[in-house]
Structure 1
Amino acid sequence: MATIRRLDSSTPGFRAELSQLLAFETAQDLKVDAAVQAILSDVKTRGDEAVLECTRRFDRIQAHSMAELEMSRTTLQAAYEQLPDREKQALTAAAERIRRYHEHQKQTSWQYQEADGTVLGQQVTPLDRVGIYVPGGKAAYPSSVLMNAMPAQVAGVGEIIMVSPARAGDEQQLVLAAAYLAGVHRVITIGGAQAVAALAYGTATIPQVDKIVGPGNAYVAAAKRHVFGVVGIDMVAGPSEILVICDGQTDPDWIAMDLFSQAEHDEIAQAILLCPDDAFIDRVTTSINKLLPTMPRQDIITASLTGRGALIKVANLDEACDIANWIAPEHLELSVADAPSMANKIRHAGAIFMGRYTSESLGDYCAGPNHVLPTSRTARFASPLGVYDFQKRSSLIMVSPDGANTLGRIASVLAHGEGLQGHARAAEFRLKAD
């Protein structure tokens, strides 16, 4: 039985108590940070050999060359073709939906011409090469392969390199099959900080990438922090989160299971319910205790709900929206009668799931939008992973002779005001003689 805390927004000190519940220490453990810095330095200096040593030490894989750790496209295709029909059909359907959604995100180049002939615009180009980290710890994540690789493919990235710790059996086959469907060019079965280092700095076998995306454990997160600037990163992901706003009219078993869907990720995942109906919260509590013993990951769910979960009584649904905007959750379910209207009141959330039938798990696997989302309240300023993360923009400026005369006079005044005479004279040289 999970002892999940009950809170009431009308209680004095509620916001302070909620803040404490939401708090997640993002600062790296000093020992983890020191170990990661040592690994990064070693891989930067010794390349493949350091990666192999780390793989033998941490992953217990006795590989003596990087070639032993790379999966060929033929292997990826075979993994896909050998899947049972049910899994093959599900994976293919999910991949197609994810691709179709992300096609809508593609940005295009544009330009316009001013009256004097000056042309201004923006040129959009894909990244040359990206690295995708797919975790292999407590579960296999073929969905992470699709969500990270598919927008890169849609964006037109030249080369997609996936790294993931080796796993045995059917779980590994699903991951490899997903890589095949998502158009991953190379798959190398390495993980941890050493994999991040190899992607960031490059080795004899693994070329340096432009950006690294994908979640991982504390070592992976620390490594991504350290290599940011050498390469781009998507984000440093925190624990999974779900916030459910319910009006008390949804089946309480559905709500309980939706809370479980994120709690089962990790002992420090967070699951919160906001509801104005005390009696319904009681029913959800009953459902939690009834359904929890049926869950294979019962211990993880129990730890998550007990440590960071909450069932919160609010005054009304408007207050629930205010609290949701303050929390800025990774996943927000609006299990209410008029979810689209309520969604208009939400400013900060990674993904918004509208309506009683829209379980968060559909978004994780196959609805179409990306499941790589900002966590730990970063939805206040960050967005889901998308095609735009794999494209970059260059400004286009082509000034006409008349434009140089007009703009040059403006630039000259401002440059002299800043004390930058070289800037001013470069503009002045192009002015027409009076």
Structure 2
Amino acid sequence: MTIDRRTFLSSAAMTAASYQRVMGANDKIRVGLIGSGGQGRSDWKLFLKNPEVVPVAVCDVYEPNLKLGLALAEQAGTASGPVASYKDFRQVIERKDIDAVIVGTPDHWHAIPTIAACQAGKDVYCEKPLSLTVREGRAMVDAARKYNRVVQTGSQQRSGPHYAQAVEMIRGGKLGKIAQVQASLIRNAMPGWGTAVDEKPPSDLDWEMWLGPAPARAYNKMRCLYHFRWWWDYSGGQMTNFGAHDIDIVRWAMNADAPQAVAAFGGRYCLTGAGETPDVQEVLYQFPDWVLTWTTCEMNSARKSGITVHGTNATMRLTRGGIEINGEKWSGLDAKQPGVEQQKYPGTEQHSAHVRNFLDCVKSRKKPNADVEEGYKTAVMCHLGNISMRLGRSLKWDAAQEQIVGDADANRWLTKEYRKPWKLG
């Protein structure tokens, strides 16, 4: 099915006007899934557990994933009729009987469907990282605000009660003055994910549509599905994968919008086979009176992943598994011990809570826990880290102007040229 752009936008404008009402507590929310791969289906399962969610459509360019998404909708037994299947996301968005969409696609396909859904009057649950580039993220925020849409970034740690508890402790001064925070993803993925040759795409995959706005490439099975994360055309490695989660929490806890400067180092030193993104990366973010470091290490697992907050009174280890606080021993002259005893708090459920928060906000029209602008600010930090590493130099960031200071070449990396006919908005 081919949708004329003028017809699509006209239909979208009519739909946007029709969905401005505030839903009641018992109203059904009709949902479409765009991107039924592993993460998309995980989100879909959580949505379908909520009694007010009515599945309407599933979209994926890979037929096996499409069938799996449809099967989940059928198993839920909450559909009001047959659940439609599509390979083109525009067919989902043009439907007037859909209130919200889940965008569970690879990163390079986050911006276009999200903006189109906002234009069509639909709310959006978009997986993290919010965008592939800085400029995409800004356009997504602008669309959400212009069309008054609820857009939740899939940074589910924002809805974890123990993360909120940690944020309260940090902001409340329990750890003392904080001057250093570390966040990391550590694992041993040696020797890598293997190699594959370019070949003809399988008949049940629309490779051209999978690429979409990304550069034309020959099909290679190590470029798509889960492994898209390791290619710059589609994602940003662990910086935008797990970094987007923990950096988001650090920003929240430290009440920080953006760094002043970024310096990053790293490369692909040990992993062999498919992929471009680094297996070792160190990123240093400078704020007015504290410093954040992000570490990627995929060739050795001796250290532990997570967030470590260093305060003058105590140190906090924060992961999805829980919170651990240990007091610090002062050694300076006339030192008075802070007297912080060891404390441990268990981790809490966050995935279902994040979906529940989105659904509640679709009804109330309040901003969700991981509002699109928060997702944007976190994505900016991730992208700046990757840009600095790839260019081999430090960057100064002007958050007000959303520009890298005095570096025209680096500013060109804030966006990417889309392959025709795709456009942003």
TM-score category, normalised to shorter length: 0.3 to 0.5
Bigger radius of gyration among the two: 1
Q: TM-score, normalised by structure 1?
A: 0.35
More strand by share: 2
